[in-house]
Amino acid sequence: MVQPVDIVDNLSKTELVRKFNQKIKESSEMEQRQATQMLKDKTSDETKRTQESIKSDMLIITKEQKEREEKKKEKKKEEESDNQDETDMEKSDNQHLDLKA
């Protein structure tokens, strides 16, 4: 037969084991919560970073567009000056021809 002291001892140990198991379960749940929170923080940080890069990309794009527009303007000026030179040459040729004729 079981002695009364053993029963009390076993019951007290059972209570301690139950509390210990509960603490282990709570700590694993806490670790899971922390991991989830860290993941949320990381994804929100990444989202913020991508939005900032979009802004910087837009700055680069607008800068490149301005450079392209400036190059187009320079080409137009060169074409206009070439056209002006050609018309000047035609005028001078015409004047020269008139003098010879």
Q: How many domains does the chain have?
A: 1
Whole-number percent of the chain with pLDDT over 90: 15
What is the rounded distance in angstroms from the CA atom of residue 15 to the CA atom of residue 25?
A: 15
In a domain, 96, yes or no: no
pTM (2 decimals)? 0.33
The pLDDT of residue 32 is above 80? yes
pLDDT digits (tens, 9 = 90+) for 49-88: 665 555 666 667 777 888 899 999 999 888 888 777 676 6
In a domain, 85, yes or no: no
In a domain, 6, yes or no: yes
In a domain, 64, yes or no: yes
In a domain, 18, yes or no: yes
Rounded mean pLDDT of 26-46? 88
In a domain, 53, yes or no: yes
What is the radius of gyration, based on Cα positions, of the chain?
A: 43
In a domain, 80, yes or no: no
Question: What range does the domain containing 30 cover?
Answer: 1-74
Considering only residues 20 and 88, tell me which one the structure prediction assigns the higher pLDDT. 20
